[in-house]
Chain A
């Protein structure tokens, strides 16, 4: 099924005072499923807040491509061609 849709980047923080960190990415057919997958996949902490955004929504600033294509800070974000 080509229904995996698009890649969503996942950001979360443990406390209100924390900055968001990039915790990884999920592939999902729509935003509703992206939220579910993000919450259930990146459950290593008791997050105060988590948010997702489509990878396509990020605009590159100083490099030719938008970020995250080589994996997130945790090395857990899938690369674009592993889909």
Chain B
């Protein structure tokens, strides 16, 4: 294998293009949906500052999704159709984002656990031999640093509060398996192919370990992770039942009706004029 890069999806080896296209679509859809979940808290967050942070994070996520959808043109997709014309079951977003979340603790499970899981997958693409994604990933990760700090800062705050810990433990517990599965099974052919060709830096297990390294220290306080000496590990094995490899989720279905209308921008399009 040479170290030379690939300038476009066309240059990618047989099979790799399809897998990378699937991965980018999953990242794009998750970011689009996550942006909506962030925007849900503009007004309901615990402080004005937290509301502003949610607004900024929502804008970041929508910006990232836009860039990724545009990138999919290189893979033969029509970005406009991807953004506006798909049915719920065609979305490659997590079941965690299918409907709005009811509490600040559930929000933090998305902000700290899920957003970090997405960022770790982008870290794996930071030195990708697929060159068009390089610069985009670097800037995206710079912005995501603040999302991580927000999630971690609030998680630490709730863990130190009477009553906060129990609700947080429940919310994190409910989201944990989806996060573990996001990186794929150890023998995931999709990620293994991408890793073998230098498209992603590490395989599924390596990416999951990196995620645990980032969220483990605080997740340990909810009993979900522990320090094994050589690194942070999950105290639960991932449950793969129902796992859909291409959509990178463990449940059929997709965004609910309200989420779908918002994610596709249906109301914006009603206002379009000829």
Interface residues of A (CB under 8 A from B): 1, 3-4, 26-30, 32-33, 35-37, 39-41, 43
Contact = CB atoms under 8 A, between A and B. Distances in A.
A61 B141 CA distance: 42
A40 B143 CA distance: 10
B46 A36 contact: no
Given A36-B146, A40-B146, A30 B153 contact: yes
**In the complex, which range does the number of interface residues on chain B fall in?**
10 to 19
18 contacts: A28-B49, A29-B153, A30-B157, A32-B152, A33-B49, A33-B50, A33-B150, A33-B153, A33-B157, A36-B146, A36-B150, A36-B153, A37-B50, A37-B52, A39-B146, A40-B56, A40-B146, A41-B49
Given A26-B49, A27-B47, A33 B56 contact: no
A3 B157 contact: yes
Contacts of B46: 1, 3-4
Interface of B: 46-47, 49-50, 52-53, 55-57, 146, 149-150, 152-154, 156-157, 161
A36 B53 contact: yes
Given A28-B153, A29-B154, A40-B53, 9 more contacts: A3-B46, A3-B161, A28-B49, A29-B157, A33-B149, A35-B146, A36-B53, A39-B146, A41-B49
